[in-house]
Structure 1
Amino acid sequence: MKTLRLIHRWTGGLIGLLLAVLGLTGTLLLHEDAYLRATVPHAADAQVQDTATLAAAAARIFAGPDRPRSIVLATQRLGLHKLAYKGEHAAYADQSGAIVQAWTSNWTRPEVWLFDLHHHLFNGDTGEVFGGVAGLAGLGFVGTGLWLWWPTRRMFHVRLWPRMAKRAAIVHHHRDLGALVAPLLILSLTTGATMNLKWFSDILRAPFTPPAVMKAASAPPKVKGGKLARDLDWAAVIGAAQARYPGAEVRVISLPAKPGGLIGVRLRQQAEWLPNGRTQAWFDPADGRLVATRDAQTLPLGSRIANLDYPLHAAKVGGLPYRLVMTVSGVTLTLLGTLTVVTFWGNPTGSLRRRKKAKTAAA
C-alpha cells in the first residue's frame, strides 16, 4: 500500500498538470456550439437539409478560386458550414454558401486552437500520442486512487472544495471527489485514449471483431475517378446520396484528395450517434455518378462500438443533460490534476521525511 501510494503521488505530481489542461480544454469544447452561436453571425440559424439549398451552397463554395477540400455541413445546434482548405486555412459559411469568417492560422479562432491543444497538444500526431498516453495514465490514477480510497471509505464526504487549505484536507477531498466521479472519469479517459491510440482501441474491440476485419470494412472503394467537372450537378450528387439513404442527414462533402480520387458524401442515419456519421456514398467527380456506398449500420460490431467513442467523449448525444454530466467530469479532472500538482510540488518529499522521522523515533 505504501509503495502504491508513493507511485500514485509521484506520477500524479509529474503529469497532473497535463491532465488538468486536458480536462479544462475538453470542458470548454463541450460548449463550443453555444459559444459560436453567441459570437458568429448566422451560427444560430436553423439547419436546412433540402437538396436544392445544399446543392446551391456546395456549387457556390466549390466554384470559388480557392476551393476548399471539404465542407462540414450545418447541424441542428450550429447553423454554419465549416470549410477546410490546405494547412490551417479554414472558414465558416452560412447555409447559402457565403463566407462569414475565414482564417489562415489556428490562433485566430479560440475554439480551433483549444481543439488543437486538447487533441494534439500543439504538436500534431506526436502530441496526439502523448495525449493518449496521458489518458491511460489517468485511468491508472483512477484505479490506484480507488484502491487507496477504499480503507478510508467510512470517512467519505461530498465536498466541491476542500474544507481547509491544508494538505491533509486537500488529500481527503481529492480521494473522495475522485471516488465519487470515478465512473465519469473512466468514461472520459477511456474514450479519449482509444481515439488517440489505435492499438489501444484495437485491443478493446478485438473480442468483438478482429482489427484486420475492421480495417478492411473501413477501406475506401478501389475505384478510380475522373477529373473533377467544372459544372458538376451537385443537386444530382446530393439527391442520389439522399435517395440511397432516405431520412439520413447529409453531413460532409469532400472533394478528391488526389488525382483519380472520388467525391465523398458522408451521411448520418438516425441510428448513428457519431455527429457526422459513418455512412458513406462515393461519386465519380467527372460526371457525378454514384460508384459505391457503405452503410454504417452494417459495419462489424467492433467498428460500430468504436464509432461511439467520440459522441460519448464529446457529449454529442444526450442533449444538454449529458453535456452537463461530462462538464462535471472535465471540471473534476481539472480540479484533481491541479490540486495534485499543488500539494505535491508544495512538499514533494515531505511524506518521505515523515516516514524517516517516524522510524528514527521508533528506534
Structure 2
Amino acid sequence: MKTLDLLHRWTGGLIGLVLAIMGVTGTILLHKTAWILLPHGDDAMVRDVGTLAATTDKLLAGGKAGGIIYANPDFGLHQVRIGKDGGAYADQAGNIVTSWQSQWERPELWIFDLHHHLFTGDFGETIIGIAGLAAIFFIVSGAILWWRTRRTFKFRLWPARMSRPAIVMHHRDMGVVMAPLLFLSALTGTMMIFDPVKAIVIAPFSSPAEVEKAMAPPKFKGGPLNPDLDWGKLLATADKRFPGAEFRILSLPRKAGDPIMLRMRQQPEWLPNGRTTLWFDAATGDLLGARDALTLPQGAHVFNTAYPVHAAKVGGLVYRLVMTLVGIAMTLLGTLALWSFWFKRPKPRKRPPARA
C-alpha cells in the first residue's frame, strides 16, 4: 500500500498539469456554441437540399475552399476550410460572416488544438493519451487509498485551508465522489487516441479486426475535380440514398483522382457529424460507394459513442452541466495536486543537537 501511495503521489505531481489543462479547456469547449457570438449563429438549420446546394456552390466557387462543415441544430453557421490553417464562417445563404488566416485568430480553434494536441500535433496527442491512462490509474489507485481513511470523509468544493493536509483531504474526498464520471471521461478520451485501449473496450461487442475492416476507408479512384460540378445533383443523390439524414461534412479531394467525401448523420447516430459516408467521383459527381453507419458492427457503434459521451454531445443541458462539473473537478484535482506536491511539502524537522 505504501508503494501504491508513493506511485500515486509522484505520478500525480508530474502529470497533474496536463490533466488540469485538459480539465479547463474541455470545460470551455463544452459550451463553445454559447460563447461564439457571431451574426446568424442562432439561425435554425436549413434542411432544404436545393438551398444547401446553392450555398455549397457559392462557398466553393473560386477553388480556394477545401471543404465545408455544415451548420447543425446547435450552431447556425457553416464552417469553410481554406488552405492549411485558414477558414471562414458563413451564414446558410453562403454569405461570409468572418474569416481567418490562422487558428490564433479564433479562440475556439486554438483552445481545441490545445485540448487535443497541446499545440504539438501528434506528439502532443500522445502525451494527452498517456495522461489519460495516468488518470485512469489515479482513479483506481485513489479509490483504493481512500478506503483506509473513509471514516474521515467530508466532501467540500474547496479545501478548508490551503495547507497540505487540508488539500490532500479535499483531493482524496472529491476524487472518490467524482471517480465514476472522471473514469468515463478519461476512458472515452483515451480510447479515441490509443488503438489498444479502443480494442479492449470494444472486444466484448465485436472483434477489433472486424471493426477496423468495417471502418477502413475504401479505395476509390476518379477524375480530377470539376470546377463546374453539379452540387445539386450530388446532394440530391445523397439525400435519396439516406432520406432524412443531415448533411455534415463535405471534403474535397486533396489530390487528383481522390473522391469527394460526404459525411451525413442519420437520426439514430449519436456522433454529431455522423459516420454515414458517401464517396463521389470528383469529375462527374457520380456516386462511387456509400457506407451506412447503422449497419456497422456493434463494436463500431460502441466506439462511435466515445466522442459524444466525452464531449457531452448527447443528454442535453443536464449532461453538459454534469460534464462541466467533471471538467472543474479535474482542473482542481490537477492544480491542487501540483501545489501540494511541489510547493506545500512539509519541511523536514530540525533535530535537537545531541548532548555531549
Whether the TM-score (by the shorter chain) exceeds 0.5 is: yes
- Partner AA of 1:175 in structure 2: R
TM value normalised by structure 1 = 0.93
Stretch deviating more after TM superposition (224-233 or 292-301): 224-233
1:161 and 2:150 aligned: no
Deviations 1:40-62 (CA, angstroms, capped at 9, x unpaired): 12111111111011101110011
Stretch deviating more after TM superposition (120-129 or 99-108): 99-108
Q: What secondary structure sits across from 1:42 in the alignment?
A: coil
Deviations 1:125-177 (CA, angstroms, capped at 9, x unpaired): 11001101100001111111101111222222221111222221111111110
**1:293 Cα offset (Å):** 0.7
Q: What secondary structure sits across from 1:209 in the alignment?
A: coil
- Partner AA of 2:61 in structure 1: A
Aligned position for 1:35: 35
| Equivalent of residue 226 in structure 2, options 224, 229, 235 | 229
Aligned position for 1:25: 25
Deviations 1:20-67 (CA, angstroms, capped at 9, x unpaired): 01100000000001111xx2121111111110111011100111242x
1:53 and 2:70 aligned: no
Dislocated runs of 4+, deviation >6 Å: none
Q: What secondary structure sits across from 1:77 in the alignment?
A: coil
| Equivalent of residue 94 in structure 2, options 94, 97, 100 | 97
1:127 and 2:149 aligned: no
Q: What secondary structure sits across from 1:175 in the alignment?
A: helix
CA distance, structure 2, for counterparts of residue 241 and residue 298 of structure 1:
17
- How many residue pairs are counted as aligned between the two chains? 351
**1:255 Cα offset (Å):** 1.0
Aligned position for 1:284: 281
Q: What secondary structure sits across from 2:221 in the alignment?
A: coil
1:44 and 2:39 aligned: no
Q: CA RMSD for the aligned pairs? A: 1.6
Which residues in structure 2 correspond to 1:51-90 (within 5 Å)? 51-66=49-64, 68-90=65-87
Aligned position for 2:107: 110
- Partner AA of 1:13 in structure 2: G
Alpha-carbon contact 2:159-2:167 (below 8 Å) kept? yes
Gaps of 5+ in 1: 358-363
1:177 and 2:147 aligned: no
CA distance, structure 2, for counterparts of residue 14 and residue 235 of structure 1:
55
| Equivalent of residue 314 in structure 1, options 303, 308, 311 | 311
CA distance, structure 2, for counterparts of residue 133 and residue 40 of structure 1:
36
- Percentage identity across aligned positions? 54
Stretch deviating more after TM superposition (212-221 or 324-333): 212-221
CA distance, structure 2, for counterparts of residue 86 and residue 201 of structure 1:
32
CA distance, structure 1, for counterparts of residue 207 and residue 83 of structure 2:
35
1:294 and 2:291 aligned: yes
Alpha-carbon contact 2:163-2:344 (below 8 Å) kept? no
TM value normalised by structure 2 = 0.95
